[in-house]
Chain A
Amino acid sequence: MSQTGGGAEGNPLRAFLPRTVAPEPCAVVLFGATGDLTHRKLAPALMRLAVEGQMPSEYAVVGFARRDWDDARFRDELRGTLQDAKIPDYEQTWPTFAEHVLFSPGTFDDPAAYATLKETLERADRTLGTRGNRLYYLAVAPDFFPTIVEHLGQAGLIYPHHQDAPWSRVVVEKPFGHDLASAHALNRELSRVLGEAQTYRIDHYLGKETVQNILALRFANAIFEPIWNRRHVDGVQITVAEEVGMPGGRGAYYDTAGAIRDMVQNHMMQLLCLVAMEPPVNLSADAVRNEKVKVLQALPRWDVEQVMKNVVKGQYGPGSIQGKEVPGYRQEKGVAADSKTDTYVAIRFTLETWRWAGVPFTLRTGKRLPKRATEIAIQFKKPPSLHFQPDDEGMGGANQLVLRIQPNEGASLAFQAKVPGSRRRLQEVRMEFRYGNAFASPPPEAYERLLLDVMLGDPTLFTRIDEVESAWKFITPILEAWEETGIEPAIYPAGTWGPAEADALLARDGMHWRRL
Chain B
Amino acid sequence: MADATSGMATAASDAFLSGQGIAVPLEAVEDELTRLWGPAAERADGPDLEHPAVTRISLANLVVGALGEDVGRVERALETVASRYPCRVIVLRGTADGGRSVSAEISAQCYLPAPGQPQVCSERIVLGAGPGALDLLPGAVRPLLESDLPMVLWWAGDPRPHLGVFHDLADEATRLIADLADPDAEPAAVAEALDPSRSGCGFGRDLAWFGVHRWRELVAQFFDVPEPRAALGRIASVEVRVAAPTASRPARVGCWIAAWLAGQVGWRGVTRAVEGGQLEATFEGPGEPIAVRVSTEAEAGLEVAQIRHVSLALRPNPSAPERGAETYGLARLVGTPEVRVEVCSEVRCSLARLIHAREFDVARRVAAALESRRSDPPYFAALPHLLWLIGA
- Which residues of A sit under 8 angstroms from B137, Cβ to Cβ? 323
Tell me the minimal C-beta distance from A319 to chain B in angstroms: 6
Tell me the complex Cα distance, A324–B27, Å.
10
A501 at the interface (CB under 8 A from B): no
In chain A, residues 480-516, which have Cβ atoms closer than 8 Å to a Cβ of chain B? Answer: 494-497, 514-516
- Which residues of B sit under 8 angstroms from A515, Cβ to Cβ? 145, 147-148, 151, 172
- Which residues of B sit under 8 angstroms from A371, Cβ to Cβ? 142-143
Most chain B Cβ neighbours within 10 Å, of A324, A325, A395, A427? A324
B127 at the interface (CB under 8 A from A): yes
A42 at the interface (CB under 8 A from B): no
- Which residues of B sit under 8 angstroms from A514, Cβ to Cβ? 147-148
Tell me the complex Cα distance, A402–B148, Å.
10
Interface string of B146-177 (1 = CB under 8 A from A): 01101100000000000000000000101100
Tell me the minimal C-beta distance from A415 to chain B in angstroms: 12
- Chain A residue nearest to B376 (CB atoms) is A392
- Contacts between the two chains (Cβ within 8 Å), count: 78
- Chain B residue nearest to A432 (CB atoms) is B148
- Chain B residue nearest to A371 (CB atoms) is B143
B100 at the interface (CB under 8 A from A): yes
Partner of A320, one of B60, B139, B174, B175: B139
Tell me the complex Cα distance, A496–B175, Å.
18
B197 at the interface (CB under 8 A from A): no
- Which residues of A sit under 8 angstroms from B104, Cβ to Cβ? 323
- Which residues of A sit under 8 angstroms from B102, Cβ to Cβ? 322-323
Tell me the complex Cα distance, A169–B100, Å.
52
**A322-B27, A323-B101, A412-B148 known; A393 and B139 CB under 8 Å?**
no
Q: List 21 A-B contacts (CB under 8 A).
A: A320-B135, A321-B139, A322-B143, A323-B133, A324-B101, A324-B139, A371-B142, A373-B147, A392-B375, A394-B150, A394-B174, A394-B374, A395-B148, A395-B174, A400-B148, A402-B148, A414-B148, A425-B373, A494-B139, A515-B145, A515-B147
Partner of B147, one of A392, A494, A516: A516
Tell me the complex Cα distance, A497–B138, Å.
12
A9 at the interface (CB under 8 A from B): no
Report the interface size class on chain A. 20 to 34
A291 at the interface (CB under 8 A from B): no
Q: How many residues on B have C-beta within 8 angstroms of the other chain's C-beta atoms?
A: 31
- Which residues of B sit under 8 angstroms from A243, Cβ to Cβ? 143
A370 at the interface (CB under 8 A from B): yes
- Which residues of A sit under 8 angstroms from B101, Cβ to Cβ? 323-324
Tell me the minimal C-beta distance from B52 to chain A in angstroms: 21
Contact indicator A370/B139 (Cβ below 8 Å): yes
A355 at the interface (CB under 8 A from B): no
A232 at the interface (CB under 8 A from B): no
B26 at the interface (CB under 8 A from A): yes
Contact indicator A320/B136 (Cβ below 8 Å): yes
Tell me the complex Cα distance, A414–B149, Å.
11
Interface string of A68-84 (1 = CB under 8 A from B): 00000000000000000
Contact indicator B147/A322 (Cβ below 8 Å): no
Tell me the complex Cα distance, A63–B152, Å.
54
- Chain A residue nearest to B373 (CB atoms) is A392
Most chain A Cβ neighbours within 10 Å, of B136, B143, B175, B203? B143
Interface string of A37-49 (1 = CB under 8 A from B): 0000000000000
